[in-house]
Structure 1
Amino acid sequence: MTVKTDGAFRTIGEVAESLDLPPHVLRFWETRFSEIEPVKRAGGRRYYRPRDVELVAAIRHLLYGRGYTIKGVQRLLREQGVRAVIESARGP
């Protein structure tokens, strides 16, 4: 098994597995959160950058850990921005 560096792009399967989410949830979230912007390569294959992975992890935490709705997270992203949402999800 190859270990990727922190800066490496990740496939949807790798991100899904690392965050314990089904890949279809990530695809759905892409339709609801325009801030999630994986690079799409030939054949439509998605590659998530480290920032995308951090954002998906933050969204997961807000939805599942803190009980936010999708609309609530959308509002946070709109009002505070991606970096603030990522930082707030890392909090205590």
Structure 2
Amino acid sequence: MKARGTTKSAMAFRTISEVSSDLDVPQHVLRFWEGKFPQLRPLKRGGGRRYYRPEDVDLLRQIQNLLYGEGYTIKGVQRLLKDGKLDDDPDARRRAEDAPDEPDAFEAASDGARVDLVATEEAAPIVALDGLSDTIRQAIAQALDELREARLLLAVGEAKEI
């Protein structure tokens, strides 16, 4: 049992309970993020108990900021991680995200046809999410990601029919 008043060193591993408390994010959300972001790989010991390394906690903090602070979706954060753009300046990152670029504007269908994703996306209404719990925000973000994927599948299907 840990003595009162002592704190772990910055390099110490953290349990899911400690990380959840530090980030003010429910444990189930942390486990959900592990499934969505393969870069998160806490050590798992007997009984499946998770131990987060300091770099895992830093990454979780960045993911939390992007999702809750900057309003990114899961897919958006996945793309930033894939492109190695997490440590960029947020304003520069936003400008790059807003700029249309050829590779992301089109999706190749399985038959080689190109589907214009920009033309298939309609303007989404802006909804204020103030006052919602983190769990509800996460559920909304996940639903939006699923809707975008469904829209893409429909667009690819329509391109095949043409």
Give the TM-score normalised by the residue count of structure 2.
0.51
1:3 alignment counterpart = 7
**Pairing of 1:12-91 with structure 2 (within 5 A):** 12-80=16-84, 84-85=85-86, 87-88=87-88
- Higher helix fraction: Structure 1 or Structure 2? 1
Distance in 1 separating the partners of 2:89 and 2:26: 21
Is the contact made by 1:39 and 1:46 (CA closer than 8 Å) also made in structure 2? yes
Larger radius of gyration: 2
CA RMSD of aligned residues (A): 1.7
Give the TM-score normalised by the residue count of structure 1.
0.89
Q: What one-letter code is carried by the residue in structure 1 that aligns with 2:31?
A: R
SS of 2:39's equivalent? coil
Where structure 2 has 5 or more consecutive residues not aligned to the other structure, the ranges are 91-162
Percent of paired sites with the same residue? 58
**4+ residue segments displaced more than 6 Å:** none
Distance 1:72 1:52, change over 3 A: same
SS of 1:47's equivalent? strand
Distance in 1 separating the partners of 2:11 and 2:82: 26
Is the contact made by 1:11 and 1:48 (CA closer than 8 Å) also made in structure 2? yes
Q: What one-letter code is carried by the residue in structure 2 that aligns with 1:35?
A: Q
Aligned residues: 87
Distance in 2 separating the partners of 1:88 and 1:23: 28
Displacement of 1:88 in angstroms is 3.8
